Each structure stands twice: as C-alpha cells, then as structure tokens.
Structure 1
C-alpha cells in the first residue's frame, strides 16, 4: 500500500475511533469548551513524569526522548518514574491522597476516574495555542473528548492501540497447520499445538493483573455481540452469546495453557510467547516490538478478531494512550512543553517503539507504519464494511476500578471453579448498569 493508501487506511482507523468513541453519555453536550487555562508560569524547572506502562525497552526509549527534549529545552529537566501497568492506578490514587503528585502522567482508559476527581487540568487552550488541532489526528482528539462529561480535553493523544491476537507462524509450519481464519480454527490449532511434556502450550493465558481487557475483547470477538450497552442502558455482558463465548475463552485455561497462568500478568505472557513455551497470546499492539526483537517478523503474526460465519468482525474500540497534566502541578508550563514535544517531535519515534498508530498525522505516513504487518491488519479491519466496534464505556469514572479491583479477583475464582461463569457475568453486568446510571445522574443526563 502506498503513502496515500496508508493514510486513507489510518483515517479509517480514526473513523472507527470516532464511531465507537463518541457514543457515550455526555458526548453531545453541545458547546465548545470554555477557556480554562490560567497563568501556568514560565516553562522552566524540574518536572516529574510518571510512565504507567514501564518495561526495560520502553523505559530506554523514554530516557532517549527525554534527553532529546532536555537538549532542546535546556531550562527544563524531566524526572522519569517508571511504574508497571498492573499496579500504577493504586500508586496514582495514593499520590493524589498525599499530594505527592507527578506533573505529567501517561494514561489510557483509566482517565475518566481522574477527570471525575478533578485531578487533571483541561488542555484545550494550550492545545489550540500550540497549533496541535491542525497536526494531531482529529478523531483521536474527539474520542478523548468523549471520555469527559464536559467535553473538554484532559489528555493529549499520543497513540491508538488495538487489541491483537498474536501467534507463532513457525509453530504452525512445523506442524503443517494452516494459519487460522476463524475462531474454530484458532481454538483447534491451540489444542493441537499443546504438549505439556515438552513445555509447549497453545495459549499464554492472562489470569493475573490486567486480565480483563483481553477477556472482554475475546468474549465479544467470539460472541459477535456488537454493543456493551443497549440503548436502554442494559449491559450485554451476560447475554446468552457472551456467556457461551466467555466459557470458551475461560476453557483455554489449564487445558491449552499452563495452570501457573492463573497469576500471569503482561510480562509473563510475553515471556511465555517470546520464550517459546506458548503458541499464541492476546494483548495489543504494544507488545509488537518485543515479539519482533525476540523472534523475528517472519515468525510472528498479529491479527484482528476473526470473522463469524457471515463475515462480521467484532472488535473492541481502540484505546487512546496519551499525556495528561495534573491539576495541582506547580510547573504546568514546563509540563506542557514536554507534552507538546511528545505530540510532535517525539511522536513518531515513540509510536514506533510501542508499535501503535501515531496521533501525529504526518507520522502516520512514515515508512515504519507502512511496513508493520499488525498495523496493516488493523487498517484492513477498520476498512472492512462488516467490522463492528464495541464501544467500551471508558467514560465511566468507575471503569478502571471495576476491572482491576473488583473483576480480577472474581475472575480468578472463575478459573479456580469456585464461581460460575454465569454468576460472574451476571454480577458485572449489573455492576456496569449501576455505574452507567450513576454516571448519567451525575452528568445531568
């Protein structure tokens, strides 16, 4: 695909973000944001940046980008703090409680809770004054506005990341198995490639921290249910189709996965996949470079949800990762200079490192984007007229807490067979309905 085709394809991804990202309550509140930015002071001094998705490879890239930023902005120093994604939310809440906050925070789908706590400063004025509305993907910006009831911008988008099913092509070739095109073929291949005696399993199951996003993506992908909430506000999580799909997904654990996978977090599933003990795993575009470094591009495939018998693909809406400034920061001007740098000069390099769609429109035409097989799969899925995106209710202030602190322990109970799949899904369908009702009431909708 040439440059023009690639940009058209990425525009389709962005359109999918808008279609799925602006369907939440509070997305049609009307008027443009009122100016909120007070005097942020002079852009100088030391700021603290919390990376909430730290690992050795990504930390090394942040340090490189920070060094380049400090060279270009000699009056500003950046203190980098790397936090593991599986536990950062509690650390952020502790920081808010004690007042020992960072100035800049990397944040994804957990942003609504911070907006509700008034922990973040609106970026609308700074964004406009920097000319970023003309250079940053408008659809990603619009998606972020959909996460706040007041439609203000609390996060400068850096990248968009889609969920991905990763598998080893070389394992398939060795076993003379064709690459899967359906979920039936995928589950069948995982079973055939499992050999516990040789420490080879068909799937690296994420049973520990961070287990809910892949569970939701796989459940809806298999079921084909196209919405998280009905128009009447009823959660679809415990629909008949989702119960069946959830049971099928949970059935991977302990059959085609190791029993130790019950505690797996992100580093552990990547270690199993890249280390040669698992044929497949579910994550997002963020692990692409890890796989390429460990295995080589020719041995790995990153694919989107498989279509059903009618050709319909059901994917969860891509998430936006970006930078926010804390409302109580005393160095907002310096913090904004760093955010602005990462939204422009540093955007392509960072996006390539994490293997995600860059927010900077110009960067979307870079060679590395055009040559990325997983990104091609994302683009093709977005361009497919039969693709439907499930809009996850990331605008709910309770979204992150429900997934991490409530659902994860109960999910382990399901894996241990002390809680039934039906009870699990019913409990959280009700929980999400309550959270939606509270959100609507508080938002005045």
Structure 2
C-alpha cells in the first residue's frame, strides 16, 4: 500500500511540476548533475527534456520511473521531466492537444498518430536515424510501417519500439473438454462458439466488445474474414461495405445474446477481459496488450488461456491487420533535440526494449531483444512472433495515415450497438461507414496535392 501511494504521489507531483514550469518546456539550467560537478563546487549545466507516456498503470509507471533513473545516471547532464497519464488514450490525447495549443508540447511522446503529422507537430527523424550506429537492429518492417503515415514523402516521424498482433484469446481447456480443435477457419470458429455455449452454466462460446473500441475490433475481424487487402478501390470507393463484410456481421454480431452474454452490448476492454477471466467466455478478441492481465488472472497457467491467430479467411489465407504505426516521436518545439534523440535510442536499446515489451506483452522492435529467450518461452509471444514473421501471413492496408481514421471508428461504435440490438441492419451500418471513410479519403487526398 505504501508503494502504491508513493507511485501515485510521484505521478501527481510530476503533473503539478509540469503545470507550474511549462509542461513542454525545455531548458538548460545550472542545476547540479547527478554524481557530477567540479571539485570546487561549480554546478554543471544540465539539459532538461520532457517525456509523456500514455495509458500508464501502476506497473507501467514504475517501469518508466526506473528507466528514467537509469538514463539520468548514465547521462548526468540530462534531466527527464516525466509525466505518465493514466486512463485510456482519449485522456492522454486531450492533454496533448491542450499542450500543443499552448505551445508547450512535450519533447517526446509515445503515442504516434497521423493527425500529428497533419498538424506539423513532429520533427522528421531521418537525419538522426541515418547516422545512428544501431539502426540495423530495428525491425525494417516497423520502420517501413511508420514511414507509410507520410504518404507524400515517406519520412520517418517515429522510432518504433514494438509491434503486437491481433488474436483470438481462448480457453484451450474448454476446447479440450469439448473435444474441439482450435479454430483454423471462420466456419470452424462459429461452429465452436455455438458448441461451447451453455447458458444453464452461464458459459458462452464468445464475448463481444460492444462498447468503446468495438469498431476497431470489428473492422480487423471483417477484413480478416474477407481477405480484402485494400480499404479503397482505385476510384476511391471504400471496401468496408463489401458483401463479405455484411456476411460476417450477420454471423458475428448475430451471435450476440445467443452465444454471448447479454451485457456485451456495453462492454469495453476491461469488462470483456473480466468476462473471459471469470470463466464466462471461451473466446474474446484483443491484441497482445492484454497478455499481462491474463497472466495474472490465470496465475500463468497456459492451459487456461492461449492466443491464436485469426482464422483463415474465405479466400483460404490468413490476413492480419496492417502493422499499426507505433513509436517515440520528437516534437518540433523541442529545444535540445540531440538530448531527446539520446533518450529515444536508449529506450530502443536491447535491455530496455526487452523490459518494455515484456511488460506490455509486445514484440520488441530491437531484433536482439526480439531474440531473447522469454519470447520463445512464453507461448503467446512465440505464436505472435511466428505470425508476424510467417511468409504465409498477409497484411491488410489499414489506412492509419488518414488523420480522422480513429474518429470515424468512434462514430461507428453507437451504430454497432444498434445492430447488436437489432435496431439497425449490418448493411445500413456498413454503408454509413463507407461514406465516412470515402469523405475522409477525399479530404486527405486534397491536402496531398
């Protein structure tokens, strides 16, 4: 309890400090460096940089505090002002937007979005990256994925720290008990969901995310089912309302309150995880980010939880969502960019990147870290690594480059609830979704001319 209170105090204290001193400010001060200073008592000059982290938990906050302390000990001429923002990404984004508007953006952020490029907030990293001695240690696929956000010039605006797969999280013990093989096709998936449902025991084959984040999940599933790689035709028409997607919706959302709990209608991720971890659902859909939560809930018993790739689509191959651009960014307003880059590369060093990825349940971007034994020792990490590196895996062209992409998903979420409640048809929702995507694409294309 004392530890928790201490960490909470540090978090609040950091927030207050930034508010008082200018949250994004970058100064060279005459404060004494840790462990350094001339013998005659002169204070060494110390550069201050600021770093904000999104969606921190107690464990994540402790990790950031630890690595910042290590960085400052190794670089006593640099001080890192750190702010960990708890809660979901929307809370973080709101705080960042206020700081940007006040011209006090943090020097380093760990959430990379297309709208930051559109607003000309970020500093291109190409010159730093090209001269970095360890650049070849970073996954080339992740670097390429980040460059895709700049569709005009392909510049690098974020240094990727990890990747994660989308998965079916399932109860292998339930499947074994029922004599069922783990689903390899979507037909098998829907058959298994029905067979594993026993309402008399309050057990369901599936639990669906109907609340916050539902559109993102549903979109990834639909494109996996159809195998359609492109979100737009050459003429700019969206493919989100393809008949195959309508077919999937009928099966997936049609399972609501038949093979799923009734309260799925409003579930965000935490509620979905609770359903899975309390022996009420055989399958839920999420990325590797939920791995540590499952580890704790099931006491590391891998007979009770497993991550498997999405089933093969109707075209016979396995399609995964495009790798989401992730990484540390440097804002243009940073005054001490060399110091910022030093921290960013420290973050991507073998040991630090491995610690980060293990905590977050992700695949390290540093290839030496990705080869660490723990990746092979943990079943879901091994499965994810194999999926990402398999020549048989196809990646969809998810349009992360559209500044309004995530906002469109938020607009769709209430419609998903209407479809689940049978107050709207899947086709009607998909047609609305297509209109929003097409309008966003047209607007984006205009800015690129």
Instruction: Report the TM-score range of the alignment, normalised by the length of the smaller protein.
Output: 0.7 to 0.9
Q: CA RMSD in A?
A: 2.5
Counterparts of 1:288 and 1:362, CA distance in 2: 22
Unmatched 5+ residue regions in structure 2? 1-25, 29-44
Alignment equivalent of 1:147, drawn from 146, 149, 164:
149
Alignment equivalent of 2:374, drawn from 364, 368, 375:
368
Q: Give the equivalent residue in structure 2 for 1:240.
A: 243
TM-superposed deviation, 1:128? 3.1
Alignment equivalent of 2:185, drawn from 182, 185, 194:
182
Change over 3 Å in CA distance of 1:49–1:434 after alignment to 2: same
* Residue 340 (1) aligns with residue 345 (2): yes
Change over 3 Å in CA distance of 1:84–1:247 after alignment to 2: farther
Q: Give the equivalent residue in structure 2 for 1:85.
A: 88
Which moves more between the two structures, 90-99 or 393-402?
A: 90-99
Counterparts of 1:253 and 1:56, CA distance in 2: 34
Change over 3 Å in CA distance of 1:45–1:204 after alignment to 2: farther
Counterparts of 1:374 and 1:80, CA distance in 2: 31
Change over 3 Å in CA distance of 1:335–1:415 after alignment to 2: farther
Q: Give the equivalent residue in structure 1 for 2:69.
A: 67
Counterparts of 1:50 and 1:41, CA distance in 2: 16
Change over 3 Å in CA distance of 1:146–1:373 after alignment to 2: same
Q: Note the 1:401-420 alignment, pairs <5 A.
A: 401-404=407-410, 406-420=411-425
Q: Give the equivalent residue in structure 1 for 2:360.
A: 354
Q: Give the equivalent residue in structure 1 for 2:435.
A: 430
Q: 1:285·1:355 contact (CA, 8 Å) conserved in 2?
A: yes
What per-residue deviation string (whole Å, max 9, x for no partner) do you get for residues 348-374 of structure 1?
111122222211121121111223333
TM-superposed deviation, 1:83? 3.4
TM-superposed deviation, 1:265? 1.9
Q: 2:227·2:315 contact (CA, 8 Å) conserved in 1?
A: no
Q: Give the equivalent residue in structure 1 for 2:400.
A: 394
Change over 3 Å in CA distance of 1:307–1:83 after alignment to 2: same
Unmatched 5+ residue regions in structure 1? 1-39
TM-superposed deviation, 1:342? 0.8
Q: 1:76·1:334 contact (CA, 8 Å) conserved in 2?
A: no
Counterparts of 1:353 and 1:340, CA distance in 2: 19
TM-superposed deviation, 1:199? 3.6
Bigger-Rg structure (1/2) = 2
Q: Give the equivalent residue in structure 1 for 2:276.
A: 273
Number of residue pairs the alignment of both structures matches: 402
Q: Give the equivalent residue in structure 1 for 2:291.
A: 288
Alignment equivalent of 1:222, drawn from 207, 220, 225:
225
Larger RCO (CA within 8 A; separation ≥ 6): 1
**TM-score, with structure 1 as normaliser:** 0.82
What per-residue deviation string (whole Å, max 9, x for no partner) do you get for residues 388-428 of structure 1?
22110111111122223x22233233333333211211112
* Residue 131 (1) aligns with residue 133 (2): yes
> Secondary structure in 2 aligned to 1:51?
strand
